[in-house]
Amino acid sequence: MSTTITETAAPRRTERPTPAPIPFGRLVSVELQKCFDTRAGYWLMASIGITALLATGAVLLWAPDSEITFSTFASSIGFPMAVILPMIAVLSVTSEWSQRSGLTTFTLVPHRSRVIAAKAAVTLGISIVSMLLAMAIGTVGTIGGSAILGVDPVWDATTVDLLNIVLAQTLGMFVGFMLGAVIRHSAGAIVAYFVYSFVLTGLTEALAQTQDWFADLRPWVDFNYAQGALFNGSLDSTQWANLGVTSIVWLVIPMAVGLWTLMRSEVK
C-alpha cells in the first residue's frame, strides 16, 4: 500500500502528489472478496464443498462395491461442480450490470479490461482450487470407502486424466464467463448457459443419430462433444484438434466479441 493521505487535518486538496496506479493483484483480491461477500455468492461457493461431500456420501451409500474407485468419486463430485462453477463465472461478470454495481466498479477502475481480467483470474483460481478440493475429497472417499468395505483402494485415474478433467471444468467455467460478457444479464446468461451446455447437447445428439453426415462432422462442430472426450481418458491428436477448433468457434470468438462490446458499452 502506498502512502496514506488521510491523516493530516484539513488537507489542501490541490497540489497533491499523483497517486500510484492500482496494482493488478489488488484488483484480483477485491474481485475475490466480491465473490464471497454477498449471500448468493457465499452459498454458491459453499455449495461447491457441500455438493462434493453429498456426492461422496452418495457414492459410499449407493454405489456397488466394485465401483468404489477414485474415478467414481471424481466423476460424481465433478458433475455438480460442472454446473456450479460456470454459474460463479456468469455472476461475477453479470452482477456488475444486473446489480448495477458496475457504476462504482468502472468509475474506480475506468480500464474495464483490467477488471475483467481480474475476474477471469479469480474465475480460473476458483476453478483450480475447486478441482483440488474435489480430488482431496475423492481421495478421502476412496481411502475411507475401501477401508469400510475392507478392500484395497482403487486409484484408476492417471494424472493426465485428472488434468483433462481440470481443463474440461475450466473450459466450462469460461463458457459461463463468455456468456456473462456477451449477455451481461444474470438470468439471461444463466439460461443461455443451460441451453448452450445441455439443450444444445441433446439436439446435436438427436441430429447425429438420425443424420449420418452430421455424425461424421460432429466432432468438428459440437463443442460439448469435443469436451466430452476430456472426461474419457487421454485424447489423440484428432480429438485435440476437434477441441481446439470447436473452442475457437464456440468460446474464443464469442468471447472476443463480448469483450469488445463490453469495453465500449455504456454503463448505466
Partner 1 sequence: MITVDSLSKTYGSFRAVDDVSFTARPGRVTGFLGPNGAGKSTSMRVMVGLTPPTSGHATVCGHRFADLPNPGRQVGVLLDASAQHAGRTGREILSIAQRTMGLPRGRVEEMLDRVSLTSSEADRRVRNYSLGMRQRLGIATALLADPEVLILDEPANGLDPAGIRWMRDLLRGYADEGATVLLSSHLLHEIEVIADDLVVIGNGRIVAQGTKTELLASAGTLVRTNDVPAMSAALTASGVPHTVSSAIGGSDALRVETDAELVGKIALDARIALLELRAAEGAGLEEMFLELTSDNQRETQTQGDAA
CB atoms inside a 10 Å sphere around CB 245: 15
Q: Which of 131, 132, 155, 136 is nearest to 72 (CA)?
A: 155
Give the CA angle between residues 144, 82, 58 to the nearest 5°: 30
The answer to whether 2 contacts partner 1 (rule: CB under 8 A) is yes
To the nearest whole angstrom, how small is the minimum distance from the Cβ of residue 257 to partner 1?
A: 18
Q: What residues between 97 and 116 interact with partner 1 by CB under 8 A?
A: 99-104, 106-111
At 36 the three-state DSSP class reads helix
The answer to whether 25 contacts partner 1 (rule: CB under 8 A) is no
To the nearest whole angstrom, how small is the minimum distance from the Cβ of residue 29 to partner 1?
A: 7
Instruction: Give the nearer residue to partner 1 in terms of CB position, either 186 or 224.
Output: 186
Segment interacting with partner 1 (CB under 8 A) among 38-46, 213-221, 222-230, 238-246:
38-46
The answer to whether 16 contacts partner 1 (rule: CB under 8 A) is yes
**Binder among 18, 159, 210, 237 for partner 1 (CB under 8 A):** 18
Place of cell 480429438: 239
3-state class percentages of the chain: helix first, strand second, coil last, to nearest 5: 80, 0, 20
The answer to whether 187 contacts partner 1 (rule: CB under 8 A) is no
At 69 the three-state DSSP class reads strand
Give the contact letters, 61-90, x = binds to partner 1 (CB under 8 A), - = no.
Answer: ------------------------------
Residue 157 backbone class (left: φ over 0; alpha: ψ -120 to 50; beta: rest): beta
Given a contact cutoff of 8 angstroms between Cβ atoms, the answer to whether 216 and 237 are in contact is no
Instruction: Give the nearer residue to partner 1 in terms of CB position, either 104 or 209.
Output: 104
- Residues forming contacts to partner 1 in the complex (CB under 8 A) are 1-2, 4-6, 10-14, 16, 18-22, 26-27, 29-30, 33-34, 37-41, 95, 99-104, 106-111, 264, 266-268
